[in-house]
Amino acid sequence: MDIRALARKAIGTARKEGASQAEVFAVSAVTRAAYVDDGRIKIVEEKSDQGIAMRVLKGRKLAQSSSSCSTAGEAEACARTAARLADRSPQTRNYERLPSPGRVTVTVNNRDPAVSSTDPVALAELMKAAVGAALDHGAKVPKALLRTATIESTVMNTNGVEVTNLSTLVYAELNAMAEGAPAGEGICNYSSPWLGGFDPEAIGRKVAEQAKAARGAKPLEGTLKVPVLIAPSELADMLDGSVSFSVSAENINRKRSAWGELLGQRVASEALTVTDDPSDPRGPLSAPYDDEGVPTAVRPVIEDGVLRNFLYDSYNAAAAGRPGSGNGVRRRATDAQYLFQSPLGCGHLNLVVKPGTRSPERTIASLGEGVVVEKFAFPTVNPFSGAFALEVRLARLVKDGGEVGAIKHALLVGNIYEGLRNVREVCSDAATVGSMVLPTVAFDGFEVIGSK
């Protein structure tokens, strides 16, 4: 049964069960994937899933339910569950109306026909080429995957919202190992709506070079307090745990944001501009509507270092007495299976860091001394305080504009909120990492602490 027909059936049932308002997020996805294990293609698969997530209001009593769904009976059962849960739910303080229809403000194209037409066997051939390229450059690939998805989502509610988003998703991850004493590890990812940008030879070569560099890296002795460049692949998680966390209206309302009282004030270097841009075709979550059916908009978050906007879904907008900004999100940037099971969150669609004018190489050439971090063990920061102490798996030492060695088993220590105020330079490269597009960024004020 078509997902729009399922949505209408669920809404009709919710009305019969006493709902004053009802909303359905209905999604259908086809996922294809090729998995590498021990250097060989082990699994090639295609999966389809379809389901609905239901929100029901009875006055100000809000409840949610979700279910895989392909028949009218399953849609009706999901609606009845939500309605019964609403009877038992406490009243919300401010939320009494689901979103109303709004005017589209952005045009988006992030649906790649090649993703829909490429079968899993073709994906396996791409992965074979990537594994072969890594081997040619001196590293094995113990594990890897290439996954694509074609996604159709519809949001429908009793206030007249009825919108559909169509998108595609490509995600790859390669883990390489360069044998030796000690062995070296490399990890590379690819995120995009577009399959054509996935170059198996290039990513295979890159992950092999990273693994070989890690094999030759030495533990750092002593402590360095020098400019630190952080690669986009690692910086994305750090910004997600700081910028994204602190501008989410959910965290503003819960008094958990470090920036809750700083709207209109400087929170970062003048070199830093960050925008939630749902029109950018590089973003897997870019869309003209969010996952509540609210029109999205290009929205400056940080402009020349000044905090300009928070991001609101409808629930947190109502709690703050503000209009929603089109930032209710269920979809994910790295996979598309069972999206109807994802809870509605308040966050960005596609966070874009404005690039600078110089390449990382030119920035490095200008440094007397510095560290270029390519891989952390796990790049997380404390979202409340901003503090971090991250294990460096691979970094390059720079002196007088040139590389003088590679290090590992060190800690990068600092505070991301202070670091954002001390951005030395934003480079000109740009990579899509999940739901972010960002370049390499150079920071002052961090310490690199050796293990000896």
Domain tally, the chain? 2
Largest CA distance in the chain: 74
Distance CA 177, CA 184 (A): 6
Task: Give domain status of residue 281, yes or no.
Answer: no
Profile the chain (452 residues) by mean pLDDT over runs of 10 residues: 95 97 98 96 97 97 97 97 97 94 94 96 97 96 98 98 97 94 90 97 97 93 95 97 98 97 98 98 97 98 98 97 96 96 96 97 94 96 98 95 90 98 97 97 97 72
Do 243 and 126 share a domain, yes or no? no
Distance CA 195, CA 148 (A): 8
Task: Name the residue among 310, 342, 265, 246 with its Cα closest to residue 52.
Answer: 342
Do 371 and 440 share a domain, yes or no? yes
Do 119 and 239 share a domain, yes or no? no
Task: Name the residue among 162, 163, 165 with its Cα closest to residue 152.
Answer: 165
Structural domain boundaries enclosing 153:
3-216
Do 190 and 238 share a domain, yes or no? no
Return the axis-axis angle of helices 120-136 and 200-216, rounded to nearest 10°: 40
Q: What is the CATH number of the domain that holds 152?
A: 3.30.2290.10
- Its pTM stands at 0.95
Distances (CA, A) of 207 to 99, 180, 252, 330, 368: 45, 16, 39, 31, 28
Task: Give domain status of residue 307, yes or no.
Answer: no
**What integer pLDDT is reported at residue 452 of this predicted model?**
65
Task: Give domain status of residue 335, yes or no.
Answer: no
